[in-house]
Amino acid sequence: MIPHKLSSLRLVKVVAIFLMTASMASASNAQSFIFTAIPDQDETQLQERFGKVATYLEKELKIDVKYVPVKSYTSAVTAFRNDQVQLAWFGGLSGVQARRLVPNSTAIAQGFEDQFFKSYIIANHSTQLQRQASLPEQLANMTFTFGSKGSTSGRLMPEFYIREHFKQSPDKLFKSVGFSGDHSRTIALVQSGAYQLGAVNYKVWEKGLADGKIDTSKVSIIWETPNYPDYQWTIRGDVDAKWGEGFSQRVQQALLNIKDPDVLAAFPRQSFVPASNNDYQPILDTAKSIGIID
């Protein structure tokens, strides 16, 4: 009788373990695929933009997809590192930072325009500065605001070219230096005269013009940087283990297949093209050269 009882107990345990494993697998399969985006505009605009992307990806991937906003570029990288999000729309610098923190994470897609990105240096009209082919010498001793400290287009690349041209760091060149937090705020601060100068993402500037949110009698472009690689979708290296072999490729293909003008306009981009980590080596090199990354 005792061996029979032990056998029965073992059977019960085996069944219990099987049911628990099946339940965990089911829960894993049912978990939401979560993505975020660097907050380069105000939160209302971001919710509208990426809500459309979540709906599209959910339909294409046939799983629950959620967009979660973050408050800063740093928190976007932190959420990615901590697996609170598995996919992120990063800028060039934040993408490089995130991929260095998460093994095997990969840049999988970028906007067509992101291959040839640029920044504008803008000025309040009280400065009387005009658009020029090179950085105006009169910038010295004026007040200047970057966007976020972790922004490629709002800080990293403009700072690189400022240092290269003036052979000085921004804090030595300008009367004062600020960080607005995002491109929309940079435009608003320079337009209002709170800062005389600012560095801004050209896409946000152009969208602001199209939406009638920029008063060109108060603020205008005085210089633009050379082209560089910027925004991209980056995915964690462990997603296949959670959602099945080839899941990363499915996400990439879904992004590359976006054709809906309404979804593309949310970025705004004309299309998406493949990306790789190697595309962003110039960003890493620049960040190291000015001491943002060791």
Q: What is the pTM for the complete model shown?
A: 0.77
Within a domain: 25: no
Check whether residue 63 and residue 185 sit in a common domain. no
Q: Looking at the domain assignment, is residue 17 inside a domain?
A: no
7 in a structural domain: no
Name the average pLDDT for the chain: 89
Do 210 and 148 belong to one domain? yes
16 domain-assigned: no
The separation between CA 129 and the C-alpha centre of its own chain, rounded to angstroms, equals 31
Is position 19 within any domain?
A: no
**Which tens digit of pLDDT belongs to each residue from 261-274?**
999 988 889 999 99
Residues 141, 217, single domain; the answer is yes
CA 235 and chain centroid, separation: 12
**51 within domain boundaries:** yes
pLDDT band at 30 (very low <50, low <70, confident <90, very high): low
Residue 148 belongs to domain spanning: 118-224
How far is Cα 199 from Cα 35, in angstroms, rounded to an integer? 27
Report yes or no: 198 and 187 within 8 Å, Cβ to Cβ. Answer: yes
Indicate whether 78 belongs to any domain.
Answer: yes
Whether 61 and 91 share a structural domain: yes
pLDDT band, very low/low/confident/very high, at 289 (cuts 50, 70, 90): confident
CATH number at residue 98: 3.40.190.10
Q: Report how many domains make up the chain.
A: 2
Per the model's pLDDT, the better-predicted residue between 128 and 41 turns out to be 128
Is 22 inside any structural domain?
no
| C-beta of residue 198 within 8 angstroms of C-beta of residue 179 | no
Query: What's the CA gap between 22 and 24, in Å, rounded?
Result: 5
